């Protein structure tokens, strides 16, 4: 037993060194491309993707922000994301409450059905909605985009709220009613404060899902261009590379920062529960 | 029904339908129970888990409703009233304190819901915190408190509305032994001070015996016996009560017949049995049985003997260590002995 | 008033359940399940070649079209790409997941978890876009190859059939790299979750019984991580099957399932054929999921 220990330890450490390098490699592979987006936003090269950049400049940033096509796409995307998130908040919270509070036939399939639009390839949801919309002869519009987005956003709100319900002691609701509060007072004073951060985190995730979505949107949009679709079209036929570079950087910042915040929200409340 | 009945159960049943894998069925959690609890009583619902005691408590609180039968609170049928319309408050097993509120806000919650003015609310909240010996804790958060302190907050919160009945659902279960014993005394004294009916659910027979005015022993959804602690302990009416409350020897069939000349089942408490030399003379008002000591366990305060009867079966005997030491008691092992006890201590139990 | 309403509802739990459940249920049944159903229905219609109109009659003509060699090739190409991407993702994900689950301190783990999920949540199109920059002829990879004098090797690689092409950006290798990059986090998280559940005592028990670290890894850790690998592969496989953005922007003009669906419904208005094509990934994924469930992969999700 004792004699074997040294050899065991040394081989353990050797594999750990290799492991560290491999893990670091994967991590860099995941992150270097995002850093490049930032570098290219400042390149002076307007017509190619030359690396290293021939020179650096700040001039594209105001130009990109002032670009009307980009602005239109951005505002459309924000409006879609806002409405889709609102719908997802209501539908997701209702579904989570029903699943948490009651037993009913088919309860196990609810989660499965809600996660389907996100789990199946986007193209399935996309073409399915496209065929329904065309079969019903509904005109493609802003609203068809919103309906599509809300559908795949419900599950993130649902999951967040249901997880919070399950961590919150059920006896709190009973205690509140026991002390004289009716269902509505209990919801306002006890349930809402308990699930508040879960709702916020779910809303942020839903918002950024919607903000980024391109595949389903391609099928449910008419001639509307959301920001991701605008970037996609710029990649297909590059007309204005510097503007696209800067927009890409702004999108990374706009989505990454709220997500970090949402992670913090859910992490903190799980700490305080323990 | 008399004026001083606080809670009355009239043929109350609660049936749950259960779906398990591919078979479905019914569980009669509470099975046709009738019961009267008097005003001002400290009343315990005692039983093992799944015996229906907690379901009964939840039906009094209004979290659950009877499938059939009625529950009356001071003569009023409350069977289908929601919890917030009943003049009853509960101390929960896990305390159920609201983590996002301070201790003070927790305690004053009931008054806030009733829209009592702030000054009045704070005055009564302070009184309650004094009553449970937590003055000055109003500003803290529940998470900063110890288990015993949370327990007191839960108690203060449930008492602030001056309910007609206070329900306590195994409130001491999570506390360690010392704290539990201290809280038992304190709960009892608080009950005497506020003078309202306490209904206390527990699976701990010692706790029930210590604190209660009366006890209802639950088993499989039915009440086996209702009585004072002394009645329950000294006169168990069923084999279940004899076995569940304290330790009992149950003697049945031919063994019983050899001792009492009757094959009726009887129970005998270990501490009522005396241990004597096998040649000892026994008075006529005693029952006697001969056997061999199979095992001796020295427990400091007392010693427990396991005696194998000559006619078959075992009896547990407990004797206080008044004069003996561990050396002495161990000598008895494997010896033949004669056991005897007063005839009146043998309790005939049904079944 | 509210009190009376509350009591009314309290005594009718079934009504409350209906009020809670019906809005999301109706939404999903109508908008989503309904859509999937119309897609199925559409796949049994066909496009009249002369009029360019969809004929709403039950037919298997459209499905028959899937079996022409060109379309079979699309399925084969997409599926092999999905397999390659999945395998590469496993190779890249495992060390990081293993490190996260077994060696990282609590703080380090939180940091790594964020580092892995952040790309997942940041914009999909932008992450694809970054590879436009990387794979470009004048981009960072060519620059790096010249820097270390391996540009000869790069050119030789690009001259190979199947994987090569005029530049990385327009080669199958380009598509492959972008897919691996995009879906890799979906592989790391389930593997890490599965490894996390391997109790330390089990590993210690194995080495205590005289197993070398390699043996322990092969006989204890790998089998226990397997459900995580399967769970991750469901994502990488399914997402690769259905994507059309990456094949539209990279590679030569060969079709993948997603791109074919987009093209059929978009330029030629042939929704029936697009719907039938989409049934392909659905059927492939259903088989995959059935097998995965048999292998116990859903416990790691």
Do the domain assignments include residue C13? yes
Residues C21 and C142 both lie in one domain = no
DSSP B318-340: EEE-SS--HHHHHTTTT-EEEEE
The residue ranges of every structural domain in chain A are: 68-273
Q: Which residues of C touch B85 (CB under 8 A)?
A: 7
Structure tokens at B302: 């007392």
pLDDT at residue B277 is higher than 70:
yes
Q: Is the pLDDT of residue A67 over 80?
A: yes
Share of chain B above pLDDT 70, in %: 97
Q: Which chain C residue has the Cα nearest residue A205?
A: C121
Assign domain A68-273 to its CATH superfamily.
MetI-like (1.10.3720.10)
Q: Which residue of C has its CA nearest to B79?
A: C11
Contacts of A174 in chain B (CB under 8 A): 61, 63, 83, 90, 92, 96
pLDDT above 80: residue C209: no
Note which residues in 83-122 of chain C have CB less than 8 A from chain A: 92-93, 95-96, 98-100, 103, 110, 112, 114-119, 121-122
Q: How far is B143 from chain A (nearest CA, A)?
A: 8
For residue B41, give the nearest of B190, B196, B169 by alpha carbon.
B196
- Compute the radius of gyration of chain A from its Cα atoms: 24
How close, in Å, is residue A115 to chain C by CA atoms? 11
CB C93 within 8 A of CB A9: no
Statement: residue C16 has pLDDT above 70 = yes
Q: How many CB pairs lie under 8 A apart between chains A and C? A: 259
CB nearest A231 (choices: C7, C39, C126): C126
pLDDT attached to residue B241: 92
Same domain (yes/no): C207, C255: yes
Using CA atoms, how far residue A263 sits from A198, B244, C8, C110, in Å, is 10, 51, 40, 10
Helical axes C34-43 vs A122-135, angle rounded to 10°: 80
Would the pLDDT of C273 be above 50?
yes
CB contact set of C260 (below 8 Å; sequence gap of 6+): C71, C74, C274, C277
Across the interface, do B80 and C6 touch by the CB < 8 Å criterion? no
The mean predicted confidence, pLDDT, of chain C is 84
Neighboring chain B residues of A185 at a CB cutoff of 8 Å: 113
Would you place residue A240 in the very low, low, confident or very high pLDDT band (cuts 50, 70, 90)?
confident
Q: Averaged over A158-176, what is the pLDDT?
A: 87
Q: Is B94 on the interface with A (CB under 8 A)?
A: yes
Q: Considering only the beta carbons, identify the residue of A172, A179, A194 that sits closest to B113.
A: A179
Q: Which residues of C touch A90 (CB under 8 A)?
A: 23
- What pairs with residue B185 in β-bridges? none
Distance CA B144, CA A3 (A): 50
Quick one: CA dihedral A252, A69, A74, C264, positive or negative?
Answer: negative
Any C CB within 8 A of A138 CB: no
Q: Which tens digits make up the pLDDT trace of A18-48?
A: 888 999 999 999 999 989 988 888 888 887 7
Please report the pLDDT score of residue A221 as a whole number.
Answer: 87
In this prediction, residue A53 carries a pLDDT of: 83
Least confident stretch, A141-150, B80-89, C78-87, C250-259: C250-259
Residues 6+ apart with CB under 8 A from C66: C72, C75, C276, C277, C280
pLDDT at B349: 82
The whole-number average pLDDT for the span B96-123 is: 93
Low-confidence winner among B34-38, C166-170, C186-190 (lowest mean pLDDT): C166-170
pLDDT at B59: 95
Q: Quick one: pLDDT band at residue C96, thresholds 50, 70, 90?
A: very high
C161 shares its domain with C236 = yes
Q: Is residue C64 part of a domain?
A: no
3-state helix, strand, coil in chain A (%, to 5): 80, 0, 20
Same domain, C158 and C78: yes
Does C25 fall in a domain?
A: yes
- State the nearest Cα–Cα gap between C142 and chain A, in angstroms: 9
**CA distance readout (Å), B76 to A117, B3, B317:** 53, 12, 49
Say yes or no: C128 and C217 in one domain. yes
Best residue in A131, A134, A157, A222 for a mutation probing chain C (most C CBs within 10 Å) = A131
Minimal Cα distance from C8: which residue of B?
B82
pLDDT score of C10: 83
- Is the pLDDT reported for residue B326 higher than 80? no
- C-alpha A126/C-alpha C35 separation (Å) is 9
Average pLDDT over residues B219-234: 93
For residue C197, is pLDDT > 80? no
Confidence of residue B351 (pLDDT cuts 50, 70, 90): low
Percent of chain C with pLDDT over 90: 19
Q: Are residues C190 and C236 in the same domain?
A: yes
Residue C237 confidence (pLDDT): 87
pLDDT on residue C53 = 78
Question: Do C149 and C258 share a domain, yes or no?
Answer: yes
Mean pLDDT of chain A: 84
**B61 close to A (CB below 8 A):** yes
Whether C152 and C38 map to the same domain: the answer is no
Q: So what's the pLDDT on residue A13?
A: 44
Write out the DSSP string of B21-79: TTEEEEEEEEEEEEEEEETT-EEEEE--TTSSHHHHHHHHHTSS--SEEEEEETTEE-T
Distance of CA A117 to the CA centre of its chain: 14
Which residues in A lie closer than 8 A to residue B97 (C-beta atoms)? Answer: 175
- What are the tokens at B340? 């005897």
Task: Indicate if the pLDDT at residue C175 is higher than 80.
Answer: yes
Whether residue B280 lies within 8 A of chain C, CB to CB, comes out as no
The pLDDT value recorded for residue B302 is 87
Contact A94 C24 (CB under 8 A): yes
- How many domains does chain C fold into? 2
ipTM for the predicted complex: 0.83
> Taking 50 as the threshold, does the pLDDT of residue A8 lie above it?
no
Both structure tokens of B179: 């704290």
User: Nearest CA of chain B to the CA of A153: how many Å?
Assistant: 28
pLDDT-derived band at A179, boundaries 50, 70, 90:
very high
Range(s) of the domain holding residue C36: 2-43
> Looking at the predicted structure, is the pLDDT value of residue A3 above 60?
no
* B82 inside 8 A of chain C by CB: yes
Cβ atoms of residues C77 and C257 within 8 Å = no
Q: Tell me whether residues A131 and C38 touch, CB distance under 8 A.
A: yes
pLDDT for B259 beyond 60: yes
Reported as a single tens digit per residue, the pLDDT across C141-158 is: 888 888 888 888 888 888
Is residue C29 located within the same domain as residue C134?
no
Shared domain check, C273 and C151: yes
How would residue A117 be classed by pLDDT, with cut points 50, 70 and 90?
A: confident
User: Would you place residue C235 in the very low, low, confident or very high pLDDT band (cuts 50, 70, 90)?
Assistant: confident
Which residue among A171, A179, A273 places its CB closest to the CB of B94? A171
Neighbouring subunits of C (3+ Cβ pairs under 8 A): A, B
Select from A4, A33, A182 the residue whose CB has the most chain C CBs within 10 Å, as the one to mutate to test that interface.
Answer: A33
For residue B15, the cross-strand partners are B28
Q: Which of B79, B82, B85, B115 to mutate to test the interface with C (most CBs of C within 10 A)?
A: B82
Is B305 exposed, middle or buried, given 0-12, 13-18 or 19+ CB atoms closer than 10 A? Answer: buried
CB contact under 8 A, C11 and B80: yes
A121·C258 Cβ contact <8 A: yes
* Chain C nearest CA to B82, separation (Å): 6
Q: pLDDT class for C301, splitting at 50, 70, 90? A: very low
A95–C13: do the CB atoms touch at under 8 Å? no
Q: Could you report the per-residue pLDDT of B118-160, keeping only the tens digit for each?
A: 999 999 999 999 999 999 999 999 999 998 899 999 999 999 9
Q: What is the pLDDT of residues B282-302, one digit of tens each?
A: 888 889 889 999 998 888 888
Pick the residue of B24, B88, B96 with the most A CBs within 10 A to test the interface with A by mutation.
B96
Q: Is B80 on the interface with C (CB under 8 A)?
A: yes
Q: In the predicted model, what is the mean pLDDT of residues C12-26?
A: 90
Cα of B81 to nearest chain C Cα, Å: 8
User: Which residues of chain A lie closer than 8 angstroms to C24, CB-CB?
Assistant: 91-92, 94-95, 98, 114, 154
A270 pLDDT tier (thresholds 50, 70, 90): very low
Whether C51 is in a domain gets the answer no
The per-residue pLDDT for C299 is: 55
> Cβ–Cβ of A179/B109 closer than 8 Å?
yes
B113 interface with C at CB cutoff 8 Å: no
SS3 B226: strand
**What is the arithmetic mean of pLDDT over B175-199?**
90
Delineate the domains of chain B, giving CATH numbers in brackets: 5-237 (3.40.50.300), 249-348 (2.40.50.140)
Using the predicted structure, report yes or no on whether residue C25 has a pLDDT greater than 90: yes
Q: Considering only CB atoms, which chain A residues are within 8 Å of C192?
A: none
Q: Write the CATH number for C171.
A: 1.10.3720.10
Domain annotation covers residue C50: no
Whole-angstrom Cα distance, residue B317 to residue B306?
6
What is the percent of chain B with per-residue pLDDT over 90, rounded to a whole number?
55
B212 exposed, middle or buried (CB, 10 Å; 0-12, 13-18, 19+)?
Answer: buried
Over residues B192-216, the mean pLDDT reads 93
Long-range Cβ pairs for the range C292-297 (8 Å, 24+): C292/C230, C292/C231, C292/C233, C292/C234, C295/C226, C295/C227, C295/C230, C296/C227, C297/C227, C297/C228, C297/C230, C297/C231, C297/C234
């Amino acid at each position: 037993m004792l004699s074997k220990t040294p050899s065991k330890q040394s081989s353990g450490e050797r594999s750990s060194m290799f492991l560290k390098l491999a893990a670091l490699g994967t991590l860099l592979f995941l992150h270097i491309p995002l850093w490049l987006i930032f570098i290219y936003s400042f390149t002076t090269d307007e017509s190619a993707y030359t690396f290293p950049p021939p020179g650096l400049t700040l001039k594209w940033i105001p130009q990109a922000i002032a670009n009307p096509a980009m602005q239109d796409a951005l505002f459309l995307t924000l409006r879609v994301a806002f409405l889709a998130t609102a719908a997802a908040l209501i539908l997701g919270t209702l579904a989570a409450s029903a699943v948490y509070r009651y037993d009913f036939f088919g309860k196990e399939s609810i989660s499965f059905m809600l996660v389907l639009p996100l789990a199946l390839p986007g193209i399935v949801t996309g073409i399915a909605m496209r065929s329904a919309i065309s079969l019903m002869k509904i005109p493609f519009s802003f609203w068809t985009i919103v309906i599509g987005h809300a559908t795949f956003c419900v599950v993130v709100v649902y999951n967040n709220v249901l997880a919070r319900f399950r961590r919150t002691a059920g006896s709190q609701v009973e205690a509140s009613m026991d002390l004289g509060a009716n269902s509505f007072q209990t919801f306002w004073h006890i349930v809402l404060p308990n699930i508040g951060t879960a709702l916020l985190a779910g809303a942020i995730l839903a918002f950024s899902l919607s903000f980024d979505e391109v595949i389903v949107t391609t099928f449910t949009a008419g001639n509307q261009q959301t920001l991701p679709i605008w970037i996609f079209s710029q990649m297909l036929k590059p007309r204005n590379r510097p503007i696209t570079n800067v927009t890409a950087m702004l999108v990374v910042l706009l989505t990454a920062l709220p997500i970090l915040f949402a992670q913090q929200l859910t992490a903190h409340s799980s700490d305080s529960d323990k | 029904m008399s004026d001083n009945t606080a809670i009355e159960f009239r043929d109350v049943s609660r049936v749950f339908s259960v779906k398990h894998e591919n078979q479905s069925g019914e569980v009669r959690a509470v099975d046709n129970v009738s019961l009267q609890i008097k005003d001002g009583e400290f009343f315990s619902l005692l039983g093992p888990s799944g015996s229906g005691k907690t379901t009964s408590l939840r039906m009094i609180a209004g979290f659950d409703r009877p499938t059939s039968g009625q529950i009356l609170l001071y003569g009023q049928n409350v069977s289908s009233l929601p919890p917030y319309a009943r003049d009853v408050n509960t101390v929960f097993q896990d305390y159920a304190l609201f983590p996002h509120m301070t201790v003070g806000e927790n305690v004053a919650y009931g008054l806030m819901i009733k829209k009592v003015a702030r000054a009045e609310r704070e005055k009564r909240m302070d009184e309650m915190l004094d009553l449970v010996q937590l003055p000055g804790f109003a500003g803290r958060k529940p998470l900063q408190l110890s288990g015993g302190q949370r327990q007191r907050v839960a108690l203060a919160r449930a008492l602030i509305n001056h309910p007609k009945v206070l329900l306590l659902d195994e409130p001491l279960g999570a506390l360690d032994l010392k704290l539990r014993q201290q809280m038992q005394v304190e709960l009892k004294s608080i009950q005497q001070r506020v003078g309202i009916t306490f209904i206390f659910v527990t699976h701990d027979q010692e706790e029930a015996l210590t604190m209660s005015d009366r006890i209802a022993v639950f088993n499989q959804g039915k009440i086996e016996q209702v009585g004072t602690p002394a009645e329950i302990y000294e006169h168990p009416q069923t084999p279940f009560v004899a076995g569940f409350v304290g330790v009992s020897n149950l003697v049945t069939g031919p063994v019983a017949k050899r001792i009492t000349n009757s094959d009726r089942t009887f129970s005998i408490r270990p501490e009522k049995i005396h241990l004597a030399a096998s040649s000892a003379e026994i008075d006529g008002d005693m029952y006697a049985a001969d056997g061999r000591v199979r095992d001796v366990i020295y427990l400091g305060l007392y010693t427990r003997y396991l005696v194998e009867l000559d006619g078959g079966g075992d009896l547990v005997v407990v004797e206080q260590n008044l004069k003996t030491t561990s050396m002495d008691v161990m000598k008895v092992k494997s010896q033949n002995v004669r056991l005897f006890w007063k005839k009146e201590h043998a309790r005939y139990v049904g079944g | 008033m509210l009190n009376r309403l509350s009591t009314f509802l309290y005594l009718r739990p079934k009504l409350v359940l209906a009020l809670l459940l019906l809005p999301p249920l109706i939404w999903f049944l109508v908008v989503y399940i309904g859509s999937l159903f119309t897609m199925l229905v559409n796949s049994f219609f066909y496009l009249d070649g002369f009029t360019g109109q969809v004929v709403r009659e039950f037919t298997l003509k459209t499905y028959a079209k899937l079996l022409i060699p060109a379309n079979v090739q699309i399925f084969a190409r997409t599926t092999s790409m999905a397999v390659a991407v999945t395998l590469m993702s496993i190779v890249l994900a495992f060390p990081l997941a293993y490190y996260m689950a077994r060696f990282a301190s609590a703080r380090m783990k939180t940091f790594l978890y964020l580092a892995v999920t952040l790309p997942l949540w940041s914009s999909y199109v932008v992450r694809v876009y970054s590879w436009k920059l990387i794979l470009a002829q004048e981009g960072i990879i060519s620059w790096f190859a010249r820097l270390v004098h391996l540009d000869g090797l790069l050119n030789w690689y690009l001259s190979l059939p199947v994987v090569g092409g005029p530049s990385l950006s327009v080669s199958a290798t380009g598509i492959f790299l972008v897919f691996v990059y995009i879906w890799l986090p979906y592989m790391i998280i389930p593997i890490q979750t599965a490894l996390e559940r391997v109790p330390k005592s089990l590993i210690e028990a194995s080495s205590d019984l005289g197993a070398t670290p390699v043996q322990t890894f092969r006989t204890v850790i790998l089998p226990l991580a397997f459900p995580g690998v399967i769970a991750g592969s469901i994502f990488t496989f399914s997402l690769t099957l259905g994507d059309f953005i990456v094949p539209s922007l990279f590679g030569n003009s060969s079709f993948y399932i997603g791109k074919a669906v987009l093209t059929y419904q978009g330029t030629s208005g042939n929704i029936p054929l697009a719907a039938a094509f989409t049934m392909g990934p659905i059927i492939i994924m259903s088989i995959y999921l059935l097998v995965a469930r048999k292998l116990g992969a859903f416990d790691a999700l």
